[in-house]
A and B are shown apart, each in its own frame.
Chain A
Amino acid sequence: MWDFESIYRAHVDSVYRYALSLVGSRALAEDVTSDTFLALIRHRDSVDEDRLPGWLFTVTKNKMLDHWRRKSTEQQYCQKWLEENPGTLNPPTMNIGLLEHKALKPVHRVCLTLRYVHGMTRPEIARQTGLSDTQVKGHLQYALEILRKELAKDSL
């Protein structure tokens, strides 16, 4: 018997991770994941279980393409950025050398970049990364501490 629940349980995490890798926004990845499983319900009669999870990943990618195509058509999301950045590179607000400091781990770099380059608030960073607000605050404090020490060393 076609058992949606066991299929859902087996693949929801990988579908979600794949969606997240395509979009980088957890909220959107959530939506796309649920849409993908809805598509599976709609096509339950024609989808062979042996084709899973490949079928789910293809649907996820197509849904993401649709999403960006819609966004692009609506021209609400990206047009402003395109107008302001016609192929030019504005210098980021934070020095790239600092962000690439070897003492920083990926999670520190992510928090620093989202905070000081993209100007996100801590709750926004938490939503973007799946970390808690407290974790974000801790990573930022720790990263700034590291950088401060490194800068002090350099100035000696």
Chain B
Amino acid sequence: MTGEPEQRWSDLEPYEMDFLEELGVSPGSVGCPPPELVRACNADVLPKNLKGSVQRHVEGCRVCQNLARDLGEVDAGLSSEEQLRIRGHIFDKVHRRGRSPSRRLFWALIPALAVAVVITLVIWTHFLPKNPDRKIVSAISTPNVAVAPATIFVLEKAQVEMPVPLVMRGASENRQAYIAGLVRALDRYQAGDYTEAIKRLEPLAQKYPRAAEVPFYLGVSLLFEGRDSEAAKNLERAETLATGWLAGASRWYLAIADIRSGRPEEAVVPLQGLCDAPGEYHARACAGLKELSSSNRSTAPR
């Protein structure tokens, strides 16, 4: 329970020993259940076999009753260290979950997915009309494109996909330090303090060059600071490293960075990738391509 008597009483200070001696208190067997058991009993979250015995004890023991009540008054809220550890646990568990049975299931489903893709392609190529926008897209892929007065490409804050599945490879990197650093940086990002977020993300990018989240959030923060070319470089890096939601988000923000830095023709590739696949950015990317192509038509020499 709370340890053997010898261990329990081994770290008493001299003044404590004196006092206990005055009181005539000596080490002995503790008859009270551990505090967490008492509180769980009071909160009615104990299974029946335990609850009966604990309840019988607590009903007759004022020490336990007082302790349960007093602990409720003493409980401090979350400290920043505890906050950090909880976020770290969430990061860590999602990361591990990504590598365990669900991922094996994903690989097992690959053949079925491949068949579904083939069937979809056959139906698409044989029975559905071609997408007229595709021609326009190839037309605007020429360098002769003016900066698009894009409206679909409004810069919105990227959500913090907490926990972001970590894309870290290599055993030499210190995961805990990485998570702690990332959480600290994202805290500033969430608060809209992009200058500080950049300051915190830049050293992380140097230290963990294979983590996709760092260049992504660094890129988005740089966009908000108006440093579009630097943003594009970081988002390009994020796109090569990321998987899942983050890969799509990286493409979308890369397209925005390209447009804002006066290279809309380079935005076509990431937008096309997003438009061709289902996902959160599919509709926006397709609309963006349309917007770029109409902008191209209006500015192209006749």
**Do A16 and B50 have beta carbons less than 8 Å apart?**
no
Q: Which residues of A contact B36 (CB under 8 A)?
A: 23-25, 28
Using A28-B36, A38-B93, A121-B11 as known contacts, say yes or no to A110 and B70 having CB atoms under 8 A apart. yes
From B29, B49, B68, A72 is in contact (CB under 8 Å) with: B49
Q: Enumerate chain A residues within 8 angstroms of B70, measured Cβ to Cβ.
A: 106-107, 109-110, 113
- Which one of A41, A88, A110, A148 lies within 8 Å of B67 (CB-CB)? A110
Give chain B residues whose Cβ lies under 8 Å from the Cβ of A119: 2-3, 5, 7-9, 27, 30
Interface size bracket, B side: 35 or more
| Most chain B C-beta atoms within 10 Å of own C-beta, residue among A24, A25, A122, A128 | A24
Q: Distance in Å from the Cβ of A148 to the closest Cβ of chain B?
A: 7
Closest Cβ neighbor of A144 among chain B residues: B19
Given A4-B159, A68-B40, A99-B66, 15 more contacts at CB 8 Å?
A17-B77, A23-B36, A24-B36, A61-B43, A81-B33, A81-B34, A87-B53, A89-B60, A90-B30, A100-B66, A106-B69, A106-B74, A110-B70, A116-B20, A117-B67
**Which residues of chain B have a CB within 8 Å of any CB of chain A?**
1-3, 5, 7-9, 11, 15-16, 19-20, 22-23, 25-40, 43, 45-47, 49-50, 53, 56-57, 60-63, 66-79, 82-83, 85-87, 89-90, 93-94, 159-163, 190
- 21 A-B pairs with CB atoms under 8 Å apart are A1-B159, A5-B159, A5-B190, A17-B78, A22-B39, A26-B82, A37-B86, A37-B90, A38-B90, A72-B47, A85-B31, A107-B70, A109-B67, A113-B67, A113-B70, A118-B32, A119-B7, A119-B30, A128-B71, A129-B75, A130-B74
